[in-house]
Amino acid sequence: MSSARRSNLLALAIALLAVVALLGARAALVPTPLERLAPGEGARGARGAQDEDGGDAGWVTLEGSWLFPRGGPYILGYETPGNARLYIDGRRVLAGAGQQSTRRVYEAGVRALRFEFERYDGGAADAADAADAVSGAGALDHLSETRLLWHPPGRRGPLEYVPPSSLAPEPPERADFGRWAGASPLDGLISALILALLVALALFWARASLARADRGALLWGALVLALALGVRLWDLGGAGQTWDEDVNWSAGRNYVSNWLALDFRPASWTWNYEHPPVMKYIAGIGAQWADGYGPARALSAAMMALACALLVGIGRRLYGLRVGVVAGVVAALSPHLVAHGKIVGHEAPSVLWWALGIWLALRAYDRPASASVPASDEDGAGQGVAARVLAGRLAVIGAVVGLAVFSRFVNGLLGVLVGGLLVLGAPRGQRWRTVGMGLGIAAPVAVLLGVALWPRLWDAPVTHLLEAWAKLRKPHSAEPFLGVITNTPPRVYFAVYLGATAPLGVLLAAGAWLARALVRGRREARASLTLLLWLAVPMLVALSPVRQDGVRYVMPCLLALAVMAAAGVDGVAAGLAAWRGWRTAVRARLFAALAMALGGYLLVVDARVHPYYLDYYGEHVGGPTGVAERSWFEVAWWGEGIADAIDYVNEHAKEGARVFKGCVEPGHLTWLRADLWPREARSAAAADWSVVYQPAWRDCPMPEDARLVHEVRAQGAPLVRVYRRGDGAQ
């Protein structure tokens, strides 16, 4: 065994031991939520006694306080194998066995909590036994299966576990929750350290390649990373909450808590089961740090920024370093890549896995002793690499594809793309070997890694996958497409959307790339075919029933457009220099000027549409305003802008005013003040205030006396309108 392999195995062993130590520390330091409550005086103990509902006694009673951080509708619940009862402020709000939940409206504040649940083994002898059970001395297995669940205002979807920091053993008048109420900072720290260990291990295993890396490329990649991250972190939540963020956040928090507690029970892995878990794991790490979306959104920003930085290496390999740098800058400033880098969603990790998979596929045939493969080398690595080396690289590529697929099912198309790139780049005579090794190594690694990362698939994997796909196939809401309101758009949907949402300057530069590819032909055939495959393969999602949400499902195409645009700028500079007979230095300055012009143009584009990057459309289709007027495409489609409108209502509506929000989809983002929920209006005619989302195409008639008092716009296009009738204001 070589010394390098021994070092790699030693690093793996150290990382595994560190993970075990962190999980052990977590078990010792982090209480379960129920351990944060005090045994109640009413704990029933005598086996065979009757409780107030006539059932057998043998109950555990826990009491304390529960912090409700915001006013509004709460979903309160629990999960237990037996019967249970939940009391808030002395009033029973819920009873029954299994998983139960109820919706109640509360003002912000501390509430008295009493939770009674049946002991699975038939009951303790007395209240002291109940205390032992809660503290762990009773060692009853069912206590790990009993948990409080909730959704505070601001989140809906699958219920989330109540964190220990939201509970206290004292009564409300004496309860102290500290500055981390609603968060689980120690869980956040431990999960972040585990993630950091895994990343450090990967970097250690790649140390030889990193040592040979071009320092200039690394520096430019770091600068692109900083630019992309800064653009996304600035006004991170400016667009407000979007449609799926709460689901991803809540399920992610539950999943991370499950892993840290080594809870692999099937019931613990049903949250948002229709989507695979890797994206939610990343979001869940951020969700541990705050009772809000900020940290999880920051992780999305970091992943999207890393994808932009990887374009430096990809562009360098295809056309040269300067093309890679400009490609990274174009991606960093592309509106829809900015938008999805600010959202707790599937898009940011998907884009990262695609960029990483493509970069790895392009360098799969690098000779171990070489620094890089020049773009002019038509045979990739010339004589190729040893089968053992290629096998290891294919295993890594398979792992990345597995991470992609188990972040989002549609990312299975990444496997198609990297397979094509591997065959395209294989040395002559070795393409069939590549196909065989890819099917025999990369594909199994992808599947096995995905199954290992998703405990739901450890039992009846085929059944559970079919359940997920059945739910994903359900038809979505209708949307405008080329003037028609439909939920079954044609298969050209994604291609049309890609052209409409790309900035005009980027499209023109990509057109220059196409001219370059035609003129240079075989000299750049591999680079041209790589980009064409990169652009085309994600579009195959059009063959599925899922055709919705604009470019969400074809985000990797935006990276391809960025590289095309950068290569197009380089081609224009080269063509002008050749036509005028300018020296190389002049050509370089011309390229820099054109690149700066493109970057400046994108900065203006971003500034004009900020913070509603999701609603950006290019000048060639009339921008957001032109699109909205013609009902060509969706404007106001994922909840952006609703928070601004609701904030206006909350600030100006008088106490107890009636608000109509039936013309808002997604309605679960309308987080009104607590006093505005009990008298919610069922029609605009019965309301003091009305909120209308997607007013450009949604039919929502208003009474004649309703006045438009507030409007949220994206570059002139209306996203949300607020109407007021009579004296509904404070």
For residue 534, the tally of other CB atoms under 10 A from its CB is: 22
pLDDT in tens, 196-208: 999 999 999 999 9
Burial class (CB in 10 A: 0-12, 13-18, 19+), 54: exposed
pLDDT in tens, 149-168: 999 999 998 899 999 999 99
668 in a domain, yes or no? yes
424 in a domain, yes or no? yes
- At which residue do the structure tokens 């970097």 appear? 203
Integer angstrom CA distances of residue 249 from 70, 195, 241, 358, 465: 18, 17, 11, 28, 22
Cβ partners under 8 Å of residue 178, min gap 6: 165
Q: Give which of 93, 96, 62, 250 is closest to 162, Cα–Cα.
A: 250
Report residue 629's pLDDT band, with 50, 70 and 90 as the boundaries. very high
Domain boundary among 447, 468, 489: 468
**DSSP code at position 72:** E
| Inter-residue contact 114 to 92 (CB < 8 Å) | no
**DSSP code at position 56:** B
- At which residue do the structure tokens 């596929």 appear? 361
**Consecutive H or E run containing 160:** strand 160-161
**Residue 45 CA, distance from chain mean position:** 47
| Inter-residue contact 694 to 635 (CB < 8 Å) | yes
Length of the chain counted residue by residue: 730
CA distance 455 to 258: 10
CA distance 280 to 135: 31
CA distance 72 to 443: 48
pLDDT in tens, 505-557: 999 999 999 999 999 999 999 999 999 999 999 999 999 888 999 999 999 99
Q: Which phi and psi (to 5°) does residue 59 adopt?
A: -115, 150
CA distance 301 to 349: 10
47 in a domain, yes or no? yes
For residue 581, the tally of other CB atoms under 10 A from its CB is: 7
Q: Give which of 308, 307, 300 is closest to 353, Cα–Cα.
A: 307
| Inter-residue contact 560 to 417 (CB < 8 Å) | no
**DSSP code at position 441:** I
Q: Give which of 619, 618, 568 is closest to 597, Cα–Cα.
A: 568
CA distance 212 to 334: 31
Say which amino acid occupies 479.
Answer: E
pLDDT in tens, 266-289: 999 999 999 999 999 999 999 999
What dihedral angle (degrees, nearest 10) is formed by the CA atoms of 671, 672, 674, 680?
A: -110
CA distance 89 to 102: 15
Stretch 217-235: mean pLDDT: 98
pLDDT in tens, 649-673: 999 999 999 999 999 998 899 999 9
411 in a domain, yes or no? yes
| Inter-residue contact 499 to 617 (CB < 8 Å) | no
Q: How many structural domains are present in the chain?
A: 3
How open is the CA angle 569-571-577, to the nearest 5 degrees? 105
- Maximum pairwise Cα distance, the chain: 100
Q: Which phi and psi (to 5°) does residue 124 adopt?
A: -85, 170
Cβ partners under 8 Å of residue 16, min gap 6: none
What is the predicted pLDDT for the residue at 473? 81
Token representation of residue 65: 């306080």
Lowest mean pLDDT among 256-270, 381-395, 536-550, 684-698: 381-395
539 in a domain, yes or no? no
pLDDT in tens, 100-125: 999 999 999 999 999 999 876 544 44
- Computed from CA positions of residues 225, 230, 233, 239, in that sequence, does the dihedral angle turn out positive or negative? negative
Q: Where are the beta strands (DSSP E) in 300-428?
A: none
Q: Which phi and psi (to 5°) does residue 659 adopt?
A: -120, 130
Q: Which phi and psi (to 5°) does residue 712 adopt?
A: -100, 130
Domain boundary among 468, 491, 509: 468
DSSP calls for 495-548: HHHHHHHS-HHHHHHHHHHHHHHHHHGGGGHHHHHHHHHHHHGGGGGGGSS---
What is the predicted pLDDT for the residue at 726? 86
Say which amino acid occupies 302.
Answer: A
The three-class DSSP label of residue 166 is: helix
CATH label of the domain that carries residue 64: 2.60.120
| Inter-residue contact 612 to 519 (CB < 8 Å) | no
415 in a domain, yes or no? yes
327 in a domain, yes or no? no
**Consecutive H or E run containing 723:** strand 717-724
Report residue 70's pLDDT band, with 50, 70 and 90 as the boundaries. very high
How open is the CA angle 650-654-657, to the nearest 5 degrees? 90
pLDDT in tens, 249-264: 999 999 999 999 999 9
Cβ partners under 8 Å of residue 425, min gap 6: 361, 362, 364, 365, 380, 526
| Inter-residue contact 491 to 643 (CB < 8 Å) | no
Lowest mean pLDDT among 49-63, 214-228, 229-243, 540-554: 49-63
Domain boundary among 147, 182, 217: 182
pTM comes to 0.93
pLDDT in tens, 565-615: 999 999 999 999 988 888 888 889 999 999 999 999 999 999 999 999 999
DSSP calls for 533-574: HHHHGGGGGGGSS---STTGGGTHHHHHHHHHHHHHHHHHHH
Cβ partners under 8 Å of residue 651, min gap 6: none
Parent domain of 367: 346-468
Token representation of residue 595: 């690149």
**What crossing angle do the helices spanning 556-580 and 584-609 adopt, rounded to 10°?**
140
> Could you tell me the strand order of the sheet in which 689-693 lies?
659-663, 689-693, 717-724, 707-714
403 in a domain, yes or no? yes
CA distance 158 to 44: 32
